C-alpha cells in the first residue's frame, strides 16, 4: 500500500512495510533555491506528536528565525533531513519498550536556510499523509523482519556498547537454555534530558533486536502451545534461542514435535570450553523428555539441513507454516538481518509437510524425489485454481537439494528475470560470490547503469558507493566496518557474527510487475545442489514493497558506515550543508539520486 499527497509543488509518498514506513519526498525544481532539507513530524495513535531525530546538525553559526527557547537541534524541526527519502521504524528512538501500531500521520515540510538563518516552518508547504504502521499481514500471509541494529546509534543509546545476547560468565555460560528475565547489562539512557543508568534484561534486548520476526515466530509457537490438538514439524539449522528451545522441548515432552536438525560440522562436537554444541545439547534434552510420537532426526542432506521452517498440524493435518531466512538462534533473531514468512493456508502448509516427510524418508535421495524436481505454483494467474488459495499471493515455491541440471535451470531462470527487469533491482543477500548465474547477473547489473540498483551483502570484494554524476548502482556491505565514527556519532559495537543474512532480491518495485525471490536459499549453484533449502518467488505488490523497504533501510543504514570506513579518519564533526548545492544531484539526469527521487515519488 502507498499513499500520495501533494501541495504547492511539494510531494510526499508513503509506502507501508512491515511495521515501518518508507517516505519519498519531491519538490518542484523552481523551489530549491536556499532549500535545506525536510522536517518530519510524526503523530502516533493516542500519543503526542514528535519530530524524527537527525544526528547531523547545522554548525553553530546557524540561527533559527522566530525561536526564543533553546532548540532541540537533534530533531528534524531544527536539523532537517538532507535526503529525499526516509525509512521510519517505530520504537527505534522513541517508546522503545512500548511501540504503538495503527494509523500514523506524517507531516513533511521543506525548510529553507537564508543567510545562515533557518526559516520557520511554513504550513502552506507542509504535506500530510496518514498510513497504517503495523505488522505486515496480507490475507493469508504475514511477514516479519528482524531489526538487526547492533551497529547503530540507537543500540548504543539504548543498550550501551556491550553486546550481551547470552550470559558470558557463570553457570549459564554456553547453556542452550537460560533465564532470559535476568539482567543482561546496564546502559545510560537519556529520559527528559536526564541521563541515568538503566538495567535491561535479555528479554528486553531480544525483543528490541528481534522486532517483528521474533514476534511472529513466538506468536506461531504460542498458538500451537495453546491448542493441544496442534503438533509441530520443524526443520532447524542453527538452534539455540533459549525461549524457543524451551517451548519446542515442551512440545517434545507432550509427544507433539518431530524435528529434522542439522548435524553438519559446526553443529556437532564441543565448544572451546568443552561444552557440547548447542544443537547437541538440544538433542540430548529432546531425547530425555520426548514421549509418544516425538521424534528427532539429525542430518545434513549432502551439505547442510539449511531450511528454517515450523509447520503446524491440527489433528494430523498441516494447516499453517513459517518459513524464511531466520534461524531459531540468538544470532539468527538478534544479530542477523533476517525475515520470516507465515502462510495461514493449508495447501501451502501441506506442501512444506510433503518436503518434511520426503526428507525423513531419505535426505540422501531427496534431490531425485518429485518434491525437488519442479516448482509448485499457487494463484499464478491471480485467480486460484483452488478457492482455498485465494488468500495467498501469486507465487512459486521450490525445495532443494536439486540435481545439477535442475539447480542450473532454476537459477538461470531467475537470472533471466533480473536481466529483463524493466526499472529497478533491490537486494539483501548474505553472499554474492559463491557462484551462480543469478548472483553473477545481480553483480553485473550493479556495475552497469541500466537500471536503478540498490543492494547490500554481508561481505563482498565489490563495494560500490555513490559517485556524483553516475547512475551506476549502489552495493554496500554490512560486516567488517570500523566501530569508530566521526563526531557527533558515538562509537558503535562490532557485529558478533553475520550481519546480513537475508537472501532476497526485489525486481521492479513500485510497478505492477514487481517480484521478490526469498527464502532460506543462498541463491548459489553449489548450495542448491547440496543443501536442504526452500526458495519462494512471489508476485504481489504489497509483499514486494515490504521487501523493497527492508532493502532500502539496510542500504541506507550501512552505506554511511561503508563510506566512513573507506575515508581518511578525522575528528572533524559532520554537519549539515549550509548551502543548497547538496540538492543538485537529485535533479541531475546523469546521477543515481535523480533516479531514486523519481522512483520513490512515483504515484
pLDDT in tens, 326-337: 999 999 999 999
Query: Which regions of 239-325 does DSSP assign to beta strands (E)?
Result: 257-262, 295-299, 309-314, 317-324
Within 10 angstroms of residue 376's Cβ, the number of other Cβ atoms is 16
> Cell match 541506507: residue?
556
CB of 601 closer than 8 Å to CB of 85: no
Distance CA 104, CA 141 (A): 23
Q: Is the pLDDT of residue 520 over 60?
A: yes
Give the confidence band of 95 by pLDDT, cuts at 50, 70, 90: confident
Mean pLDDT is lowest, of 381-385, 448-452, 552-556, 589-593, for: 381-385
Q: What is residue 120's DSSP assignment?
A: P
d(CA 6, CA 128): 8
Q: Which three cell numbers stand for residue 318?
A: 498441516
Q: Give the 3-state secondary structure percentages of the chain, helix then strand then coil, rounded to 5.
A: 30, 30, 45
Question: For the residues 232-250, what does the mean pLDDT come to?
Answer: 98
Q: pLDDT higher for 506 or 194? A: 506
pLDDT at 568 > cutoff 60:
no
The arithmetic mean of pLDDT across residues 78-106, rounded, is 90
**Which pLDDT score, from 0 to 100, does residue 454 have?**
94
> Is the pLDDT assigned to residue 265 strictly greater than 60?
yes
- State yes or no: pLDDT of 424 exceeds 70: yes
φ, ψ for residue 119, nearest 5 deg: -75, 155
Cell of 382: 491471480
Percent of the chain with pLDDT over 90: 80
For residue 462, what pLDDT band results from cuts at 50, 70 and 90? Answer: confident
Phi, psi of 405 (to 5 degrees): -65, -45
pLDDT score of 239 more than 70: yes
Q: Per-residue pLDDT tens for 1-52?
A: 899 999 999 999 999 999 999 999 999 999 999 999 999 999 999 999 999 9
For 442, what's the count of Cα atoms within 13 Å in the CB-facing half-sphere?
32
What are the cell numbers at 602? 512515483
Which residues lie closer than 8 Å to 280 by C-beta, 6 or more apart? Answer: 267, 268, 269
Give the model confidence (pLDDT) of 161-186 as tens digits.
Answer: 899 999 999 999 999 999 999 999 99
Question: Given a cut of 80, is residue 96 above it in pLDDT?
Answer: no
pTM of the shown model = 0.96
Rounded average pLDDT over 381-388: 74
Environment class of 589 (CB within 10 Å of its CB; exposed 0-12, middle 13-18, buried 19+): exposed
pLDDT over 60 (residue 565): no
Amino acid at each position: 500500500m502507498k499513499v500520495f499527497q501533494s501541495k504547492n509543488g511539494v510531494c510526499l509518498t508513503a509506502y507501508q512495510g512491515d511495521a515501518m514506513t518508507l517516505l519519498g519526498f519531491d519538490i518542484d525544481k523552481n523551489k530549491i533555491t536556499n532549500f535545506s532539507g525536510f522536517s518530519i513530524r510524526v503523530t502516533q495513535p493516542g500519543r503526542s506528536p514528535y519530530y524524527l531525530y537527525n544526528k547531523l546538525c547545522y554548525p553553530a553559526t546557524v540561527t533559527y528565525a522566530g525561536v526564543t527557547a533553546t532548540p532541540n537541534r537533534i530533531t528534524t524541526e531544527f536539523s532537517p533531513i538532507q535526503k529525499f527519502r526516509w525509512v521510519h521504524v517505530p520504537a527505534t528512538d522513541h517508546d522503545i519498550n512500548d511501540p504503538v501500531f495503527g494509523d500514523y500521520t506524517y507531516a513533511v515540510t521543506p525548510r529553507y536556510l537564508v543567510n545562515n538563518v533557518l526559516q520557520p516552518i511554513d504550513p502552506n508547504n507542509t504535506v500530510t499523509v496518514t498510513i497504517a504502521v503495523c505488522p505486515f499481514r496480507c490475507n493469508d500471509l504475514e511477514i516479519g523482519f528482524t531489526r538487526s541494529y547492533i551497529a547503530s546509534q540507537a543500540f548504543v543509546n539504548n543498550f550501551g556498547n556491550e553486546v550481551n545476547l547470552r550470559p558470558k560468565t557463570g553457570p549459564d555460560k554456553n547453556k542452550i537454555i537460560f533465564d532470559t528475565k535476568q539482567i543482561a547489562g546496564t546502559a545510560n539512557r537519556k529520559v527528559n534530558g536526564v541521563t541515568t543508568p538503566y538495567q535491561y534484561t535479555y528479554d528486553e534486548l531480544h525483543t528490541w533486536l528481534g522486532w517483528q520476526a521474533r514476534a511472529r515466530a513466538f506468536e506461531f509457537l504460542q498458538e500451537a502451545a495453546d491448542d493441544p490438538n496442534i503438533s509441530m514439524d520443524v526443520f532447524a539449522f542453527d538452534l539455540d534461542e533459549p525461549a524457543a528451545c524451551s517451548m519446542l522441548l515442551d512440545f517434545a515432552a507432550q509427544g507433539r514435535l518431530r524435528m529434522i536438525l542439522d548435524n553438519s560440522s559446526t553443529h556437532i562436537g564441543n565448544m572451546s570450553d568443552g561444552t557440547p554444541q548447542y544443537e547437541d545439547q538440544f538433542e540430548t534434552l529432546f531425547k530425555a523428555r520426548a514421549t509418544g510420537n516425538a521424534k528427532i532426526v539429525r542430518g545434513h542432506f549432502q551439505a547442510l539441513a539449511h531450511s528454517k521452517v515450523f509447520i503446524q498440524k491440527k489433528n494430523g493435518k498441516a494447516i499453517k507454516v513459517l518459513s524464511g531466512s531466520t534461524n531459531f538462534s540468538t544470532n539468527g533473531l538478534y544479530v542477523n538481518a533476517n525475515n520470516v514468512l507465515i502462510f495461514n493456508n493449508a495447501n501451502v502448509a501441506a506442501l512444506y509437510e510433503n518436503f518434511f516427510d520426503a526428507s525423513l524418508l531419505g535426505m540422501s535421495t531427496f534431490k531425485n524425489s518429485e518434491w525437488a524436481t519442479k516448482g509448485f505454483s499457487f494463484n499464478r494467474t491471480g485467480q486460484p485454481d483452488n478457492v482455498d488459495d485465494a488468500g495467498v499471493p501469486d507465487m512459486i515455491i521450490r525445495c532443494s537439494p536439486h540435481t545439477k541440471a535442475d539447480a542450473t535451470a532454476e537459477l538461470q531462470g531467475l537470472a533471466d528475470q533480473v536481466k529483463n527487469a524493466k526499472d529497478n533491482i533491490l537486494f539483501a543477500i548474505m553472499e554474492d560470490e559463491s557462484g551462480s548465474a543469478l548472483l553473477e547477473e545481480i553483480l553485473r547489473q550493479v556495475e552497469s547503469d541500466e537500471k536503478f540498483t540498490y543492494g547490500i551483502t554481508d561481505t563482498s570484494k565489490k563495494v560500490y558507493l555513490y559517485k556524483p554524476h553516475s547512475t551506476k548502482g549502489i552495493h554496500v556491505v554490512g560486516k567488517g566496518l570500523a566501530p569508530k565514527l566521526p563526531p557527533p556519532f558515538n562509537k558503535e559495537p562490532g557485529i558478533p557474527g553475520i550481519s546480513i543474512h537475508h537472501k532476497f532480491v526485489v525486481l521492479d518495485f513500485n510497478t505492477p510487475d514487481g517480484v521478490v525471490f526469498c527464502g532460506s536459499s543462498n541463491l548459489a549453484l553449489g548450495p542448491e545442489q547440496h543443501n536442504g533449502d526452500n526458495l519462494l518467488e512471489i508476485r504481489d505488490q504489497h509483499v514486494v514493497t515490504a521487501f523493497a523497504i527492508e532493502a532500502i533501510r539496510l542500504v541506507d543504514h550501512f552505506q554511511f558506515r561503508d563510506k566512513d570506513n573507506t575515508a581518511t579518519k578525522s575528528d572533524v564533526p559532520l554537519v549539515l550543508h549550509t548551502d543548497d548545492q547538496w540538492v543538485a544531484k537529485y535533479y541531475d539526469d546523469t546521477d543515481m539520486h535523480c533516479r531514486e527521487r523519481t522512483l520513490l515519488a512515483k504515484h
